[in-house]
Amino acid sequence: MAVYSYTRVSTDRQADEGESLGAQQRRVNGYAQMQEMTVDRHFVERGVSGSVPVSERQEGSELLAVVRPGDTIITPKLDRMFRSARDALNVLHELREKGVSLHMIDLGGDVTGNGIAKMVFTILSAVAEAERDRIRERISDVKKDQKARNRYLGGKVPFGYRVGDQGDLVEHEAEQEAVTLMKTLKTDGKSLRVIAEAVQAKGFRISHVGVKEVLGRI
């Protein structure tokens, strides 16, 4: 059974001047001594943002790869290892399934195997759900804003339009003439198939289903 430590700073400057790696490591060593443990290897992450998932960090991914059942990981603070509750939950579940203990000193010790664990998982689950909601809201707001500004959001470009140089939808002159023809024929009571055939005769590739979609937007 091995004992590992994990420490991180988000910028190279912090590694020397801020919440130094040395201070974090001394805290880990002091905690390990109190728990009658000896740290076998220190995983030190320099200049890496906490927003990067642990599995995508150089030292973090290596740590997750080397741990075995019965091993212990010690980190000085929750935010040294995680900034995303979703990432924390994923890693904690992975470690628990492997039988690996994770000790977060600022949370009082082992968060995978004692009374703290249930509370930590409950809090992280709630925070992770809130994170997902915020992400969905941001994406929805961005899409609404882009749609309001007639921005192209990907997928099939609507008939009658093309993507402009600024990424917005601008009218396709020739196709707009076809759209005008569709409206005229629809007003005259023509069926969708007849309208489609008339537009196809002008050189446009569009089905009666496509005609229905175009007329539905008008």
Q: List active site positions.
A: 10
**Contact of 4 with 62, CB cutoff 8 Å:** no
**Contact of 168 with 149, CB cutoff 8 Å:** yes
**Contact of 43 with 62, CB cutoff 8 Å:** yes
Q: How many CB atoms lie within 10 A of CB 27?
A: 19
**Contact of 55 with 64, CB cutoff 8 Å:** yes
Q: Of 13, 169, 19, nearest to 79 (Cα)?
A: 19
How far, rounded to the nearest angstrom, does the alpha carbon of residue 117 sit from its chain's CA centroid? Answer: 25
